A and B are shown apart, each in its own frame.
Chain A
């Protein structure tokens, strides 16, 4: 939310409010290779044509990434109360529920799954990949600095569910004679307690820090901000199941003698069962999907601004994120913007945003990071967020 800090017109009324209430929803996914058309079929069914699969593979440039999240939050900021006698400081807090998924896979894994292992010669496909999913809720309180809206919140975290699958240094070998398949792998597969599922299921507890530091530039011509989001961890309970396997699984087909022996049931080897057998239950601590953002917002003239920002997440699936935008303010209460972003889970995309003060109580902000993605099946993601604030005076 840029506007309160930049709007001279609303400055006084905004800071005169007693309580600032807000709700926010943010839903989206992004990939560097997987188009909306493919995601649509993966989620809702349909036949995925070879051409579509080939195009995803070509886009991949060795590695595919995809991230998705859904976020809902409620925030409050006590504008009128002082904090231990300091009038510039106030209490704030939030309730937040977040669902976060990210996956990272190399071209060999994508090819093996969606194109197969066809050919005539010996084939060795590198099939590394990972998938992380976490759902959690935060209940936090903190303080904020009213003039700059800087502050932090420390939250208790309820771990609803996590699932983490990684397979490193993995290769799928197909012999030239087609008589042998071998999957060399190093698998980690962790799953939170499956006996209780759903919202607020309480399979883990943790702590998180969210904070933002806004540093105004001279003469209020802009600000530099540094934000930390979801910096923390969840300790998942003792029913968390972790399986590990570093091995090579060979498959040479059915044993003909078993096939011909009617007294023996012929079954395919069940490697997942082998993996399950390695499972151990116990507590497991996992980082939240946190991130750090650094940005600069600067006035160009009286009513227009530019912004640049960077975001980081120290995981394979997430590249450094860069964003640049131009914002224009109408009448002191409406701000529209266009943005270009690259990195993160995806490639370059262009988005738009709009923020508006409606009367003296309401503030609304809408934003999408990828306009093309909203309208095209060839888009590489979809995203949208909405934020509403209400000032109690």
Chain B
């Protein structure tokens, strides 16, 4: 129990819980719209934002070199999400949009960090997550952003379900479809920058999608899928972080591996049960 009184462990668990519960909310909408990989595209753009923030920090001669890294990531991720949404609504093929973002994001990230006088090693924490370095400032920012995701993502569930389920019907009812699409894109971007801290850019999408995939195996209702995925996401991140307290393992990768393992187990058990019922 004394471990729980360690401030670092407290911070890690708070951020883990928030991210684990909030990420699947937006993940559910992305899966609903069949854009499960959108998070990867935005994540790579966020990486360029991290590097741009780093560059800005160097230019302003800030004491803490990466002070602007997360704000840069948030800004770039939102711009990236808005661009994707625009291109998508104008009918550009989603895979082409994604490819441009992937390559553009990672290449400009490496380029910018070099210009800032950093090395690729500085980017590693963002690529794979660095939850063991969270400060109380990071915690408060995570609390704020996670609250935003939860309040809007859950509060507008009916409207967001309608728009992601059947856009044409939603438009016929008079819902502000374009604005709601933008809400999904921007909140997805915010989710990614919050989750980046825990699992890193490369695995950020997993935290949004894998819990939804597991929940999908267990329930047929959209709202229950979302709620269950939130629970699964929270348990996975807390478990992963708790294990790394005792074992020197990368938490981000552990959380995702736990999630994928759980998916395999649940998929096997549910298909076995279906077989038995027949």
**B and A form one assembly:** no
